[in-house]
Amino acid sequence: MKKYERVVENLNRALHALFATDPHVFLIGEDLLDPYGGAFKVSSGLSSRFPDRILATPLSEGAFLGIASGLTLCGEKVIAEIMFGDFIALGYDQILNFAAKAVSMYGRSLTINLVVRCPVGGNRGYGPTHSQSMQKYFIGIPHLHLFEISPFHDNGLLLNKLVNLGQPCILFEDKVLYAQRIYTVGVIDEYFVAEALDNEQNFVRVFLDEGSTDEPDCVIIAPGLLSVDHIFVVEESVAGGTWGCEVAQQIYERLWNSLKHPVHLIHSKESIIPSAPHLEKQVLVQAEDIYTAIIEAMHAQD
C-alpha cells in the first residue's frame, strides 16, 4: 500500500477538485482526452468526468493560447496545458501581446483568469527541444505572474489561488518533480526537516536536523527548496537575465548591510541540451556542481 502521494498525483487530484467545485473552469491543450490524459498524465480522468470543459486542440500553441485568452475575456477561468515547456515559445506572442496586456489596455481593468501550466527542465533525456527551463523569457512582463510547483506545497490550494488571480500567470512544473513525493512541513526523513518561513507557507526552508541553533554556513535557494555567511542561488537555466538574477538583486536590496560575501549564482552550461544521459549531465547543473561551487567559494574566503 502506497504511503505517500506523488507530485503528479497531487496535481491531478487538485485539478479534479477544482473542476468539481467551479463550473467556470476549462482546460485546453493537446492530447488531453482519456485514455491518454496529457503527456505526463496530469490531466488524466478529467475528460471522462467533465467532457464539455476539456478542450483538446490541434498542435498549435499560438492558437489554443489565443482561444484560452478569449475565453477568459468572456468570464471563464482557463487552464492551458503546454505539453513540453519548450513549446510555449510558439505561443509567446499570445501571452506577451494579448493576455498580459488585455488586463489594462482597454481603458479599464479586465479580469483575465488564465493559468498556463508549463512542464520544464531536463535530466529526463528528452533532448534539446524538450528539456529547457523557460522561466527567464517571461520575467518582467507587466501583469504576468510566474509560479513554480514544489514538493512542499499542496497544488489544490495553489491552483485555486491561480485561477482566481484576475491576471494571467504561468505555473512552471519541473518534470523531475512529477515522480517525487509530496512533503508536509515538519520532519522529512532521518536527516532533513522543513519549516515554513511565512504564514501562508509561500517559502519553505529545508535543513539538516542536528538539534542545533547555530547559523548555517550557507543557504541554497532553488525552485522547490529553500546572519548567513554565503548565499547560493541555483537554477537549471543558463546564465543571463534569469529569475536567479532577480532573487540576487532582491537579496542585495534587503540584506546589503549584513551580507559578508557576494551572492553566488549557479547555472547550467551555455549549450543545447543533449539527449544522451551522460552528455545531458555534463550540461545541466548537477548536485556535484553545486557542491564544488560552494566549496570553492567558501575556501576562497578563508
User: What are the pLDDT digits (tens) for 164-184?
Assistant: 999 999 999 999 999 999 888
**Distance (Å, whole) CA 251 – CA 247:** 6
Give the residue numbers annotated as catalytic, written as ranges: 130
| Pair (121, 267) in one structural domain | no
Mean pLDDT of 260-286: 91
Specify the pLDDT at position 216: 63
Same domain, 165 and 29: yes
Same domain? For 160 and 18 the reply is yes
Q: What is the mean pLDDT of the chain?
A: 89
Domain that holds residue 223: 215-300
Dump pLDDT digits (tens) for 286-301.
989 988 988 888 777 6
In a shared domain, residues 219 and 172: no
Which residues does 83 contact at the CB level (< 8 Å), separation at least 6? 29, 30, 31, 38, 39, 119
Q: Same domain, yes or no, for 225 and 119? A: no
**For the segment 50-79, what is each residue's pLDDT rounded down to a tens digit?**
999 999 999 999 999 999 999 999 999 999
Task: Grade residue 3 by pLDDT with cuts at 50, 70 and 90.
Answer: confident
pLDDT computed for residue 218 by the predictor: 73
Residue 209: inside a domain, yes or no? no
Does residue 111 lie within any of the structural domains? yes
pLDDT at 2: 56
The pLDDT score that the predictor gives to residue 15 is 98
pLDDT, one tens digit per residue, over 110-151 is 999 999 999 999 988 999 999 999 999 999 999 999 999 988
Residue 231: the pLDDT is 85
CATH of the domain at 237: 3.40.50.920
Residue 174 CA to residue 221 CA, distance in Å, equals 15
Query: Please, what sign has the CA dihedral across residues 208, 4, 35, 27?
Result: negative
Q: What pLDDT is stored for residue 227 in this prediction? A: 42
